[in-house]
Structure 1
Amino acid sequence: MPARTMAPRSCAPAQRGETAPEIAPVAALLTRRTFLGASACAVATLLTGCGSSEAGVQARQIAEVPCPYNWDNLIWDGGRPVYYENDQICSRWGVDVSEHQHTVDWEAVAGAGAQFAFVRIGNRGATEGKLDVDEFFLANAIGAQAAGIPVSAYFFSQSLDEAEAREEAAFAIEQLREAEHEGVTFHMVAYDHEPVEIEGARANDLPPDQFAANARAFCEHIQKAGFSPMIYGNQQDLMRLSVEERATYPLWLAEYGIDDPTVTFNFAIWQYTNKGTVPGIDTDADLNIWLETP
């Protein structure tokens, strides 16, 4: 099945200080990233030629895709970030949840202005490595969709190698298919591999090349199944990826306690707090801004 794509759109006009309007979900908001990454690849190919020799492959370099945003255009409105370009709102605001948020009132979340939601599919255990479905995955996916909130999903990985990452992807796809049978459409599927503060955690000290290989294996398997992959992490996590991987896959950055992100490379979503308050969610919530460029 070919990967899902959606037509790009221009940013919604608005005046500064207004709440971002409800807008349609767009998986292809990463058009600028894709273009820049493809351009870098094309330039590299022109410089090194099209041969497949080992020396040619090693010489081929992918340019880092720089962060395209001007943070002077990021306005905090009622405690939420809104990004503007040319006085047009170029961002969406959303949440991500798991079973740790328990039962979510998705109608209330929609009423609070959520324009997208990521729901956790499941996880691999940090010590024994067992795969588990998130207790509230199906309810959250169905509930968010029914409330009119565009739905994406993520899987919490503790993979040690590419084989385990592909196993996690296959497990995630099974759950996604079940939700699709219930009428849910998923726009992105994110890979989330991060250290955990548990004694005996099995995957805390992966070398950068293994971390990157696992992320790539998961994303490739997800993409072959017809879903659009992305990679989640903080700045340290994402810097463990190769430049090519940062150019190939949309990135979801976690960085808290700051007025605007500090990374120099491109990314699509900024998770700006894990201590947010949202009507309809009784616990602290992760809050995000999905950045768009015209």
Structure 2
Amino acid sequence: MKKKLVRRQTTRTRKPKKKASIFSGKFMRFSVVTFFILLVIGIGYHYRNGLAYYFSFKSDKVLSETAKDKRISDVRNFQVLEKHEGKSIGLDVSEYQGKISWSYVDTLENKYPLHFVFIRATVGRDRKDRQFNRNWLGAKENKMIRGAYHYYRPNENSLEQAALFIKTVTLDKGDLPPILDIEKLPKNQSLDSLKVGLKRWLKTVELHYGVKPIIYTGEKYYDDFLKDEFSDYLFWIANYNFYREEIDDDWLFWQFTEKASVSGIKGNVDVNIYNGDLQQLRYITVE
């Protein structure tokens, strides 16, 4: 007699569900959103004065430029200027600004007096700025402290470049020392050769005018190539970074923006801060 096979029922045990981590799902999304909200609030609070000024002063005007970066730049510009109350403010111009109506150039944002202006005089060994004579005279008539600068071309003869600048620029009492603008790296020579050329230009110009020139360059160029070997010169540094809001102690001038609006000048213009007040600025001018 065959026995019936009886299958035993086996009970399956279900694994308990894992509890949702507090760092997953909705909580994570909530945390990320909260972080960005707090970040925006923090930035808004930091720039509250600049924003308030921008919306109270600018909002009732038709702006020729509507790009977001320009509006953000306006806010930062005011923030920087507010942090440097009492320091001397000025511009730098060239033929790119066209024909400037100098009699209207007096303040920035109708609040900050403009005391000085750097004017491009020459480029390389053979080119004079097309607006130099007009700007040089206009700034003088507008009673602004003026300075002339040379745009240095690394691959051209340094002594020929110095000769062109000397031929073009006559400094009067009350003018700023001559300025050497170096921004590019050489293509056909070594860095050592570049530095030799820069020193020749600086020495030749100093010998002619009887005053030590100032060097203009970007902050990275200054840190990487010039800071140590040219430490006996005073520097005018360009840095437009949003995070930087104060002038460095080692800088004589700081070009903090290239996107400012000034009456009498069409389009954008560079703005600079001198690391001192107007009386101290007059102290470094040519006697």
**1:148-227 alignment to 2 at 5 Å?**
148-160=143-155, 164-177=157-170, 180=171, 186-195=175-184, 203-204=186-187, 207-226=190-209, 227=211
Larger radius of gyration: 2
Q: Which residue is equivalent to 2:254?
A: 270
1:214, CA displacement in angstroms? 2.2
Which of 232, 235, 240 in structure 1 is aligned with 2:225?
A: 240
Aligned amino acid, residue 115 of structure 1:
H
1:131, CA displacement in angstroms? 1.1
1:244, CA displacement in angstroms? 3.9
Off by >6 Å, runs of 4+ in structure 1: 261-265
Q: Which residue is equivalent to 1:47?
A: none
TM-score (structure 1 length as normaliser):
0.60
Relative to its length, the structure with more helix (as a share) is 2
Q: Which residue is equivalent to 1:33?
A: none
Q: Which residue is equivalent to 1:117?
A: 117
Question: What SS does structure 1 have at the residue aligned with 2:144?
Answer: coil
Relative to its length, the structure with more strand (as a share) is 1
Contact 2:158–2:197 under 8 Å retained in 1: yes
Asked if residue 254 in structure 1 is aligned to residue 243 in structure 2, the reply is no
Q: Deviations over 1:268-289 (max 9, x none)?
A: 1111111221111102111111
Aligned residues: 200
**1:99-138 alignment to 2 at 5 Å?**
99-112=95-108, 113-124=113-124, 131-138=126-133
**1:65-144 alignment to 2 at 5 Å?**
78=78, 80-81=80-81, 89=86, 91-112=87-108, 113-124=113-124, 131-144=126-139
With a CA cutoff of 8 Å and minimum separation of 6, indicate the structure with the bigger relative contact order.
Answer: 1
TM-score (structure 2 length as normaliser):
0.61
Aligned amino acid, residue 118 of structure 1:
F
Contact 2:147–2:175 under 8 Å retained in 1: yes
Partner Cα distance (1:120, 1:218) in 2:
16
- Summarize the Cα distance change of 1:223–1:190 in structure 2 as closer, same or farther, 3 Å threshold: same
Aligned amino acid, residue 94 of structure 2:
S
Contact 1:122–1:155 under 8 Å retained in 2: yes
Aligned amino acid, residue 89 of structure 2:
W
**What's the Cα RMSD here?**
3.1
Q: Deviations over 1:95-116 (max 9, x none)?
A: 0000010111112112442111
Aligned amino acid, residue 151 of structure 1:
R
1:189, CA displacement in angstroms? 1.3
Q: Which residue is equivalent to 1:44?
A: none
Partner Cα distance (2:264, 2:149) in 1:
21
Structure 1: 5+ residue runs without aligned partners? 1-16, 18-75, 125-129, 197-202
